[in-house]
Structure 1
């Protein structure tokens, strides 16, 4: 392997720092963003750099050395390049609370464990579609050994998904019922996209029609601002609307997208409330059905509004339907 250049050290460990240029490092990161995660750990080499791929992350070591300044210089260069490519970095605190075994699984366990294993307490990261690029540098925490690495993982491991979603998704994965199983609700697997946003139906004639393609692109641009989590038996997709401001999950309304391409915000401040209200709307007695579904949620320790009329929707600067319409008009004018 030619990924690192040795430097002198009185330590028992060999000092290594990536010797390839910044463009090579960034090229490898981009390559990892497009790679699937393997079922079993795999060590590979990309453009001379050693990479370890795990079931939920790719790891690119940048160095382990006693030369803190050299490693810091490399990390600063990678951070500057990442800022230029993906916007200003975000911070992630590897809080021990993420490792708690009480309650639903916290997906932030993965980055927290990686950061701790490298002797650090925090990292910076950049969102890239549904993935994240995380830069970990133990920042002089150990006076004799300074370690840094780039980790590519799913973005959801860094932002933390709401507890009620994690509970219902976990039950679905385990083959256990959720309150909406009888209504045909299916929770999506990690990285799975709902059927309704698939574009394989487009014909050559469709692709040659500027109005159709403007609508397709506007739909896709709006869908990119949503974290999809489920779909019902009418192929309606359901997810969290983050919007152009990239709202956190707790501040994101729940949105549905039907097969006619219509976005609709669902009433409810949580996924559980929105699903109870959504499926109750199909019943002859909506209030009674909402009460029944809400009781099933509460039996699993999930709080839900007392009545259907109590449901409220978190505010959002722009509704997804309006975002799609505005994007469509801009695209039409620009053609």
Structure 2
């Protein structure tokens, strides 16, 4: 049985028999190809030449501080909503055992926002926990697309894809939850604690927003300076800022998803001091809202397995850039 989805390609039409003209033209191809190779060698062509990435995207990649990010053309997807297995699918490159690649010795904590079972445990997730500045709900159910594809399902799938890519670089990767543990949570304070106790070199919380239709785009949430109660972010504000800038630039380049048109003034960055996952972190950490699930254009991307792989690639490249910084 044939299946068209995020990990399968549709059957290709059978090629017609070649005629004499086709054969004659084929004979000219090697010479033309050789000329192209020579041209490329002389011209210094490379992956960043025009046609590989929009100039605005390259400008955003080079940025070293939060500023407006220019949008690339929107990426298309298969709109399947298919999820990966525990190790993700469609990995790029040759798998590398954790600890034996260029990121050997680096620890990354991935926090898939919410939990697919949260909606069945209202009492547990509604109890409040201390986030330093005040008390807040343990967790929430998250949002979903109009067709019922949940944020929790999205973030867990994206986390699996991202884990695979980072492990290929040799990083040790820990998830705050993996879909096979407790049926709810963990609470936001525990999510921060997992990163702290792992002594993570970088941590990222994955989300998708639930704003009004017409509001679209991604934004990266940076920790503000907090020094109250159990929270003290003063030591991580700087490196978290650096991490967020790198993730935003790479995410934009890989996905083409524009910066948010409803938060952050078009910059793609928002600073907050009301999130326990950031307030209680003692390691560099950011959140990324990958798009708005309630907008039809963004929903079409977020439900695409092919697009989620691009999102994972962009986030991974941002984290790798941060961990390999001089």
The answer to whether TM tops 0.5 is: no
TM-score by length of 2: 0.23
TM-score by length of 1: 0.22
Q: Which has the higher contact order (CA 8 A, sep 6+)?
A: 2
